[in-house]
Structure 1
């Protein structure tokens, strides 16, 4: 056998062994997490109250899960349950409001991030707890909460037993749509510009097959779309305001949770710190700028810090914390909340309802995520950002 062939075979074997080793570690970590979760759930006390399950019947497994939920509750002696189906003209918020009027003590969203978002919109601020049974594509909020996304019995145990934490609720209000009677809730990320256009151009069928990777296809369609221009004002938690006029940008996002599969978009974002993390993104130089931006996201994912890759030359990622942000655009643009599209708008306001939502979670440890996020944050976002200046 030629030496070159032998070398290639050795390299291939080494790569395969490394892959097996990494897979074994990942499986071991998952098994340990499952074991710890099982131990935690065994200690929880069932809460025998009235439950309302808000279910999205469009999900492929919805019918099967409904039967499973009924059997689970029957085995636990939880007999006060009722199902509410979302419809095209009746979203999760309307169903949750109806459930609360009917006397529900705990409202449980059975679906993806869209169902969770709309149900949470109604439950927030009421003093009633929100449970989550994640059967969607991304299930990003459930993942951020540590709720099992691949074990319905574990998720049901979490939702129907004592153990909750207070969570912030983001709101996006369309100020040029007076017909809206409420701010559109978001629990993960809302935005205007490129991110919304990317989501809008994502094929639902492709998303169902390859999950969040489908967003990359939608993103490619909008790489060369025109930039957006407008005025931006952010109010910090101390009441000071910071503003810029005639701002050119690709996208502006507000984050309550900054973690998505694989990547960290906003490393300092925390769902219980009473503030939002705003990210202002721009690129120049065509593909080079987008490549730089991808490098920025990878860099902050690895470092866990809200900072750019020092090698970036054609992208900017400004990250600012605050309690509100108002944007007025020259031309209408698409907006989104947790992946749900909103009508085109020229004038929006982001705000946060501080610790207004009670969510049943597996881990109710007293260590606040805000403390962890603070360790990753820069000293003062409003001071370190280069484009925003205090209003005189």
Structure 2
């Protein structure tokens, strides 16, 4: 889709605000959605006709977001999956320009955690009715490569989680959605535990044998499952999980623990503003569902209030959205 030329100032001399829409054309290609966004902006008043910026295969949204900023966008609507949302949200860091989310992916985890409806029309209501609010971002430095630090919005996984995502067939995913992950799960169910050393916010080193390590800025997965029941995306903390299920029975127990949200020795939790994992052998890592390679040294830290996003206030149920309270 071509970029619309931003319109002139409003009648009466007031300057209209500029709206950019960054979208993933493999996720959001519904012309009706683009029409809805344009109509919503017109109904609100004070907005120029939006300009639409597609992402490309080699860039999940950073270049499109930078273009939106050059064009003077006052708000950026992002329509795509978690990878597109991450690219846009992190690229807006420090700009003072908020993003609004129209969920169009498979997981839509940040939208779920912020109480943003998955229905496009209702998500648009949030975009134009709610106020921008600050949430934390998380940063990963992989194998001491500070120059190429990775910023993310939701969760990162080391080990089983990353291997499963790496080996999920994208063609199958397009056809059957989340069921494709079940196939990949079966391939890795016998993954052996690895020795891991963890240091958390200046606390003494912890040594474990683990199959899966998770770090969360948010807490909720698909299906209403809370991986980190107390997690909040604006608390200045990262939540950490370590577990070592080695066969189907132990994975079933892990799922039961998560569904019950009750303490169990099978799952260990920590929290802090910084966490470092060290392993003896390279292991796969993913952030917000995107594979970021393998490594032996993983340093995570929180970036408090670094992202400005339009979302319902936690614990408040705006008309038509439904109640949402973090961590409950």
Calculate the TM-score normalised by the size of structure 1: 0.71
Spell out, residue by residue over 1:123-159, the C-alpha distance to the aligned partner (whole angstroms, 9 max, x if none). 1233221111111122121122111211x23322322
The answer to whether the 8 A contact 1:121-1:184 is kept is no
Q: SS where residue 198 of structure 1 aligns?
A: helix
| Distance (Å, rounded) in 2 between the aligned partners of 1:229 and 1:62 | 47
Report the CA distance between 1:60 and its aligned residue: 5.6
Unaligned runs of 5+ in 1: 1-46, 309-314, 377-392
Q: Looking at CA atoms only, which structure, 1 or 2, has the larger radius of gyration? A: 1
Q: 150, 153, 157: which one pairs with 1:187?
A: 153
The answer to whether the 8 A contact 2:28-2:80 is kept is no
| Distance (Å, rounded) in 2 between the aligned partners of 1:249 and 1:109 | 36
Aligned pair 1:65/2:26, yes or no? no
Report the CA distance between 1:259 and its aligned residue: 1.1
Q: 163, 186, 192: which one pairs with 1:197?
A: 163
Aligned pair 1:173/2:134, yes or no? no
User: Aligned runs of 1:330-349 on 2, under 5 Å?
Assistant: 330-349=280-299
Report the CA distance between 1:81 and its aligned residue: 2.3
Corresponding residue number in structure 2 for 1:140:
109
Q: SS where residue 125 of structure 2 aligns?
A: helix
Q: 86, 104, 108: which one pairs with 2:73?
A: 104
| Distance (Å, rounded) in 2 between the aligned partners of 1:116 and 1:273 | 20
The answer to whether the 8 A contact 1:231-1:328 is kept is yes
The answer to whether the 8 A contact 1:57-1:63 is kept is no
Corresponding residue number in structure 1 for 2:210:
249
Corresponding residue number in structure 2 for 1:292:
253
Report the CA distance between 1:355 and its aligned residue: 1.6
| Distance (Å, rounded) in 1 between the aligned partners of 2:180 and 2:326 | 31
Corresponding residue number in structure 2 for 1:320:
270
Spell out, residue by residue over 1:265-298, the C-alpha distance to the aligned partner (whole angstroms, 9 max, x if none). 11011111110100011135x3332232222222
Q: SS where residue 153 of structure 1 aligns?
A: helix
More helix by share: 1
Corresponding residue number in structure 2 for 1:357:
307
The answer to whether the 8 A contact 2:38-2:49 is kept is no
Q: SS where residue 266 of structure 2 aligns?
A: strand
CA distance change for structure 1 residues 94 and 345 in 2, over 3 Å: closer, same or farther? farther
User: Aligned runs of 1:1-392 on 2, under 5 Å?
Assistant: 49-59=17-27, 61-77=29-45, 78-150=47-119, 152-176=120-144, 178=145, 181-235=147-201, 240-245=202-207, 247-262=208-223, 263-284=225-246, 286-300=247-261, 305=262, 307-308=263-264, 316-363=266-313, 373=327
Q: SS where residue 178 of structure 2 aligns?
A: helix
Report the CA distance between 1:182 and its aligned residue: 4.1
Corresponding residue number in structure 2 for 1:390:
none
The answer to whether the 8 A contact 2:116-2:312 is kept is yes
Give the aligned CA root-mean-square deviation in angstroms. Answer: 2.6
| Distance (Å, rounded) in 1 between the aligned partners of 2:32 and 2:147 | 35
Q: SS where residue 177 of structure 2 aligns?
A: helix
Q: SS where residue 312 of structure 2 aligns?
A: coil
The answer to whether the 8 A contact 1:124-1:169 is kept is no
The answer to whether the 8 A contact 2:66-2:91 is kept is yes
The answer to whether the 8 A contact 2:172-2:180 is kept is yes
Q: SS where residue 77 of structure 2 aligns?
A: strand
The answer to whether the 8 A contact 1:52-1:99 is kept is yes
Calculate the TM-score normalised by the size of structure 2: 0.84
Q: SS where residue 27 of structure 2 aligns?
A: coil
